[in-house]
Amino acid sequence: MQMTETPTAATDGSPHRALGIDVGGSGVKGGIVDLDTGQLIGERFRLPTPQPATPEAVSETVAAVVREFGWTGPLGVTYPGVVTEGIVRTAANVDSSWIGTNVREMFASRLDGQDVTVLNDADAAGLAEEKFGAGREVSGLVVLLTFGTGIGSAVIYDGVLLPNTEFGHIEVGGKEAEHRAASSVKERKDWSYERWTEEVTKVLVAVENAIWPDLFIVGGGISKKADKWVPLLKNRTPVVAATLQNSAGIVGAAMAADGALHRH
Ligand code: BGC
């Protein structure tokens, strides 16, 4: 797909768009996002995540996705761990060679120096859900938790993200939260929704006792089946399912490229 125009951030009436790229365990997915509506413009484009998913190999794939869109405007990319100032700090479910990598520079070097914003995957999903998805009518403190291979978290207060919270790694009853209640644990142990939801409740209670959100949003693949398990939860704070599903990471990455990490 070729774009015929080069959109820029809207200060002058030009289209308010950015390219978001979500780097996941199986796919690297990109899309151009209308930042006023949170809608994707045109189709998503996906390439398989290279195996092994080294920083170099993933950078090549990210660059290939950017080229597919012919994109030279603002660009945001997600990473499934802590990222501060463009540098990866943790790698819980990806190769440890990512730790210490300056991903902002590494991605940019394959893109003729194009500026890249890199942020945590759950933070991206949280930004998107809070503004355009399940949290859009809610004011106050929203906590998004994604359930997948691990557990990701995002904390947003009135539109402002507190980046790099890692609630998947807090200890709950002597065990890391994501080892207790990620959806990968449900699969591995072949648990029913009832059984798994007991563990999810414990994690939500630990988080709500520490930070007292107004709303939890639950995301990740398993949130597509939210009607099977969200009603079983026994924690105090209201819980709703994410609504943007597959596009949340893309939309949030695009929002970050547009400055969403630096609002005040
Ligand atoms: C990582 C988080 C990430 C989450 C979901 C966790 O293991 O520490 O940074 O958001 O997995 O990918």
Are 185 and 168 in contact, with CB atoms under 8 Å apart?
no
> Would you give the distance in Å from CA 141 to the centre of its chain?
18
Ligand 1 binding pocket includes 126 (Cβ within 6 Å): no
**Strand 160-162 with 215-219, pairing:** unpaired
Dihedral (Cα; 172, 81, 192, 205), 10-degree rounding: 30
Phi-psi region of 63 (alpha: psi -120 to 50; beta: other; left: phi over 0): alpha
**CA–centroid distance, residue 240 to ligand 1 (Å):** 20
Amino acid making up residue 93:
N
Ligand 1 binding pocket includes 92 (Cβ within 6 Å): yes
pLDDT tens, position by position, for the chain (264 residues)? Answer: 444 444 444 455 567 999 999 999 899 999 999 999 999 999 999 999 999 999 999 999 999 999 999 999 999 999 999 999 999 999 998 899 999 999 999 999 999 888 899 999 999 999 999 999 999 989 899 999 999 999 999 999 988 999 999 999 999 999 999 999 999 999 999 999 999 999 999 999 999 999 999 999 999 999 999 999 999 999 999 999 999 988 999 999 999 999 998 865
Please report, for residues 44, 88, 115, 184, 220, the alpha-carbon distance to residue 179 in angstroms, rounded to integers and kept in the order given: 32, 22, 36, 9, 16
Ligand 1 binding pocket includes 252 (Cβ within 6 Å): no
Nearest CA to ligand 1 atom 8: 81
- Residue among 93, 55, 97 at smallest CA distance from 77: 55
**CA–centroid distance, residue 150 to ligand 1 (Å):** 6
> Exposure of 210 by Cβ count < 10 A (0-12 exposed, 13-18 middle, 19+ buried)?
exposed
Ligand 1 binding pocket includes 170 (Cβ within 6 Å): no
Ligand 1 binding pocket includes 220 (Cβ within 6 Å): no
Please give the Cα distance from 230 to 236 (Å, whole number).
Answer: 12
Structure tokens at 74: 């603002």
Ligand 1 binding pocket includes 88 (Cβ within 6 Å): no
- Residue among 244, 248, 257 at smallest CA distance from 111: 257
**CA–centroid distance, residue 153 to ligand 1 (Å):** 7
For position 160, what pLDDT does the model report? 93
For position 263, what pLDDT does the model report? 65
Whether the model clears a pTM of 0.85, i.e. scores above it, the answer is yes
Q: Kindly report, residue by residue over 43-73, the tens digit of the pLDDT.
A: 999 999 999 999 999 999 999 999 999 999 9
**CA–centroid distance, residue 3 to ligand 1 (Å):** 33
